[in-house]
Structure 1
């Protein structure tokens, strides 16, 4: 069985390899690249759930990723293959991922982190291909097709990681789907905030 250092190294390696792969795809695929990087933290989330990566180490590493990604924005030198000018979504994602394990129990934190990584990733990829096919600006648009993907994956996550009854799981997935779809607050902030509120209400 892996120790903590090996688990952290493996998780980091997976994320860094994904970032390297997306760099090869280039700026034309920036929106897809962002979602692939979201998905790349799934091994880290699962190792946190299995107890291989302590919450403080997961949190600290996510915070460092957030700070590292914020710096190019502040310097106006975005990493063009996955960062978008004036869009801080990947920074919010990392900072939110840093906070969640510190304030929520591991099981619930895992479900919420997976919704942020997997459901949001699937949603973005579906929307990218829908709007690419229909000729719209995929950087700015949301569409119900992506929300269907979000809802389905969020339900699967809820059934695997939450013990709140069938109706509760469906309501959880539905609320997060609507939260992701709204356009007033970046979903990388809104989903963890609403997800946290749901936990305390339950």
Structure 2
């Protein structure tokens, strides 16, 4: 059985789900996890954060339910409301990190989200990927060059298409794929214990 994790790096609920996913991956080492970027803030949704008036209230709820913290760097970045979350750029970054270390995709997805939600770094900035690469033992020059390449654009679009093909438009969504059967395991929020219980019913 394979797990497919469809998330968006700029999605607060995906940020809150990262610990649960890490716990689940540790408990099920024989179930590989495919990480797919969903494309939450693209097209007309790529606007200054001030236009999403619910951000602070949503973050408080995410913290309460998942235990994650939003860092001072993040709070400073969004304070004036002008920052634009661009999920296409984030998906390019996720694609090149995943390509560099496929077996560490879940951890790199978490690192990508921490760069934004803790450190307040833009996921459109090549310097962000240099920092993530350095912190995770990857070749920073290679990562940055790949992020800037047309191949990263192609990979991001492929991820968005994959999410649509899976019928996913809420993030995060965790799916279990076994043969030709795909089952939704979680959407939005769940504990590792709850996911264990749901997965046990599929075996």
- Structure 1 length normalisation: TM-score? 0.30
Determine which structure has greater relative contact order: mean sequence separation of CA pairs < 8 Å that are 6+ residues apart, divided by chain length.
2
From the two aligned structures, give the one with the greater strand fraction: 2
